[in-house]
Amino acid sequence: MSERNTLTFISWNVNGIRAVEKKEALKWIDEENVDFLGLQEIKAEADQIPETIFEREYKFQSINSSSNKGQSGVALYTDIKGEASCCSHVDILDEGRINEYHFGDIAYFNVYFPNGQRDDERLEYKMAFYDRFLEHINTLRDEGKSIIVCGDVNTAHKEFDLARPKANEKTSGFLPMEREWLDKLLSNGYIDTFRHVKGDETDRYSWWSYRAGARGKNVGWRIDYFFVSDDLKERIVDADILDHIMGSDHCPVKLVLKV
């Protein structure tokens, strides 16, 4: 799968790939040995993605754009040969939320999970999406696949995963039902790789509001994750939040696995 003995995965909600390109905010990828790059919220069709986002050319690309033009969308880049699959029964509104890519015995997912803050109907859709997605990856596990999931989950799990938990107890993204789904995900045999590596390390966030200088004050939320099925536990080398990378209201997150 790779000439090296590890695989490096990067996940980043870029909040508009064309806007990021104008800032040249993906150029750092050219200097990194990234085997899988998963981008969320690209807000573009495949033919609208600038060829200049980075200099290196990945052999395989999978772009899933939303039927609502200019919204959502995900993009996956890799040099590792595999097969792009489709789970439209999860993303039933065709919002361009999932890349599914199978290589070897691994099913890898790059996902932009729904945001539930708009209204109760949208929150209900978010929770149903969560459940459909968990059922799908569990089915693949039953078929013998190992699972890697990255992306913007749009929920902070524990109180130390956001700067102001008390102020957000009734805000979608930190509601009990959303946090309970993350409990359910872990209880189904998936590992939050950042917590596995970093323990209870605090003040580490992946998203900051554009308002009130939140990023400068580090008033953020950890809502971007890498999860792996527990059969990959011994292969976890590193997991981190790349909070020095600018260009979006999110920063990238990283996972390194042994081959």
Contact assessment for residue 52 and residue 24, using Cβ atoms and an 8 Å cutoff? no
Q: Which 3 state secondary structure label does DSSP give 83?
A: strand
Full DSSP string of 113-166:
PPP--S-HHHHHHHHHHHHHHHHHHHHHHHTT-EEEEEEE-S---SGGGBS-TG
Residue 1 belongs to some domain of the structure: no
Residue 89 belongs to some domain of the structure: yes
Look up residue 255 and give its two tokens: 């996972």
Range of the domain at 175: 6-258
User: 28: which DSSP letter?
Assistant: G
What is the chain's length?
Answer: 259
pLDDT score at 3: 58
User: 218: which DSSP letter?
Assistant: T
Contact assessment for residue 222 and residue 194, using Cβ atoms and an 8 Å cutoff? yes
Taking the C-alpha atoms of residue 152 and residue 241, their distance in angstroms, rounded to an integer, is 13
Look up residue 249 and give its two tokens: 């209201």
Residue 157 belongs to some domain of the structure: yes
pLDDT score at 2: 44
Rounded to two decimals, the pTM is: 0.97
Helix (H) or strand (E) holding 204: none
pLDDT score at 244: 97
Q: Which 3 state secondary structure label does DSSP give 246?
A: coil
Rg (Cα) of the chain, in Å, rounded?
17
Residue 55 belongs to some domain of the structure: yes
Helix 176-187 × helix 120-142 angle, to 10° = 0
Residue 250 belongs to some domain of the structure: yes
Residue 64 belongs to some domain of the structure: yes
Single out the residue of 242, 235, 238, 230 nearest to residue 255, CA to CA.
238
Which residues are the active-site residues? 152
Residue 216 belongs to some domain of the structure: yes
Residue 185 belongs to some domain of the structure: yes
Spans in the chain with pLDDT lower than 70: 1-3
Look up residue 9 and give its two tokens: 């995965």
Alpha carbon separation from 199 to 204, 218, 221 (Å, rounded)? 11, 19, 17
Taking the C-alpha atoms of residue 258 and residue 130, their distance in angstroms, rounded to an integer, is 28
Taking the C-alpha atoms of residue 94 and residue 123, their distance in angstroms, rounded to an integer, is 17
Q: How many domains does the chain have?
A: 1
Please state whether beta strands 83-85 and 220-221 pair in parallel, antiparallel, or not at all (unpaired). Answer: unpaired
Instruction: Please give the distance of CA 204 from its chain centroid, rounded to a whole number.
Output: 16
Which CATH number covers residue 61? Answer: 3.60.10.10
